[in-house]
């Protein structure tokens, strides 16, 4: 295995272990605040914690068994490295993450009485369902256009969350404003990365396939192919373009998910530590 690949894979695995520790500590903090939080807030943050737990577990699985869906490549020769298994688990985790955001934006929107933010909250989860359908289209047909649509949808959701924060911010207390500022910065970095690196990558792959006259699979072929074929690749070149997004997704993405379990509410009195 190439040195660069080994170091990158090591980081993914270390990050997954860090994520578990952070989740456990966050769970402890949520329990400690049960007596101080209103019952409704505690229930909301406990739900966020369990949704984050799904994300932590699946990202850990994907960190130890990395794969690239359309290319059908993996690092470990195992049936658990099949694209069908990995994509199924990823779909569950990403829907959990989307549900986290939809719930939190709705909570804040209702807390400050923002109609616009409430509309955005209702849009977020269906949008990510569409993103997952697009991802599965890419997996089954091996057409990178599906990935480009998927990532563009995630990018749009990042913009929508930022828009909801802008609507909520004037009505927010100091602690919530601080959280919005920090989170908006992370989202801005995410949107910039997606617009300049991730989406253009998939579009360039799709255009390259179009020029080469690649024949895409029908979904029945793709379903069997995704479940039965995986190619072990230990060449850094095969993974170079995947390294950045996976490294960020399985670390920073997970930390954001966990942070929502301790995110401040719309009411200052409920958010005091």
Q: How confident is the model at residue 83 (pLDDT cuts 50, 70, 90)?
A: very high
Does residue 134 sit within a domain?
yes
Query: Which distant-in-sequence residues (6+ apart) come within 8 Å of 209 by Cβ?
Result: 143, 144
Tokens read off for 148: 């480009």
Does residue 138 sit within a domain?
yes
Does residue 224 sit within a domain?
yes
262 and 45 in contact (C-beta within 8 Å)? yes
**Arithmetic mean of pLDDT, 27-41:** 91
Does residue 15 sit within a domain?
yes
268 has a pLDDT exceeding 80: no
128 and 157 in contact (C-beta within 8 Å)? yes
Backbone angles phi, psi at 253, to 5 degrees: -55, -40
Report pLDDT for 242. Answer: 92
Does residue 272 sit within a domain?
no
Question: How many angstroms separate the CA atoms of 186 and 193, rounded?
Answer: 11
Report pLDDT for 269. Answer: 64
Upper half-sphere CA count for residue 106 (Cβ side, 13 Å): 12
106 and 115 in contact (C-beta within 8 Å)? no
Question: How many angstroms separate the CA atoms of 250 and 17, rounded?
Answer: 11
Give the domain CATH number at 36: 1.20.1070
User: pLDDT tens digits, residue range 147-159?
Assistant: 999 999 999 999 9
pTM for the model: 0.93
Report pLDDT for 1. Answer: 77
Q: Treating both helix axes as pointing N-terminal to C-terminal, what angle do 115-141 and 219-228 enclose, rounded to 10 degrees? A: 80
Higher pLDDT, 1 or 33: 33
Does residue 271 sit within a domain?
no
35 has a pLDDT exceeding 90: no
2 has a pLDDT exceeding 90: no
97 has a pLDDT exceeding 90: yes
Does residue 190 sit within a domain?
yes
Structural domain containing residue 17: 3-264
Report pLDDT for 271. Answer: 60
Report pLDDT for 272. Answer: 53
Could you give the number of structural domains in the chain?
1
Does residue 26 sit within a domain?
yes
């Amino acid at each position: 295995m190439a040195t660069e690949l080994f170091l990158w894979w090591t980081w993914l695995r270390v990050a997954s272990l860090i994520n578990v520790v952070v989740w456990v500590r966050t769970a402890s903090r949520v329990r400690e605040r049960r007596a101080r939080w209103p019952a409704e807030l505690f229930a909301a943050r406990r739900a966020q914690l369990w949704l984050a737990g799904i994300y932590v577990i699946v990202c850990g699985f994907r960190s130890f068994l990395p794969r690239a869906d359309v290319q059908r490549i993996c690092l470990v020769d195992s049936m658990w490295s099949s694209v069908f298994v990995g994509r199924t688990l990823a779909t569950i985790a990403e829907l959990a993450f989307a549900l986290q955001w939809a719930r939190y934006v709705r909570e804040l929107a209702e807390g400050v009485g923002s109609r616009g933010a409430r509309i955005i909250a209702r849009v977020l989860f269906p949008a990510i369902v569409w993103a997952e359908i697009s991802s599965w289209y890419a997996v089954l047909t091996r057409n990178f256009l599906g990935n480009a649509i998927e990532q563009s949808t995630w990018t749009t959701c990042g913009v929508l969350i930022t828009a909801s924060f802008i609507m909520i911010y004037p009505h927010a207390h100091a602690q919530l404003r601080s959280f919005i500022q920090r989170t908006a910065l992370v989202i801005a970095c995410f949107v910039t990365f997606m617009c300049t690196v991730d989406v253009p990558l998939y579009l360039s792959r799709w255009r390259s396939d179009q020029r080469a006259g690649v024949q895409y699979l029908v979904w029945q072929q793709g379903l069997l192919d995704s479940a039965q074929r995986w190619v072990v690749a230990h060449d850094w070149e095969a993974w170079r373009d995947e390294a950045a997004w996976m490294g960020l997704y399985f670390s920073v993405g997970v930390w954001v998910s966990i942070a929502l379990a301790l995110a401040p509410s719309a009411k200052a009195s409920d958010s005091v530590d």
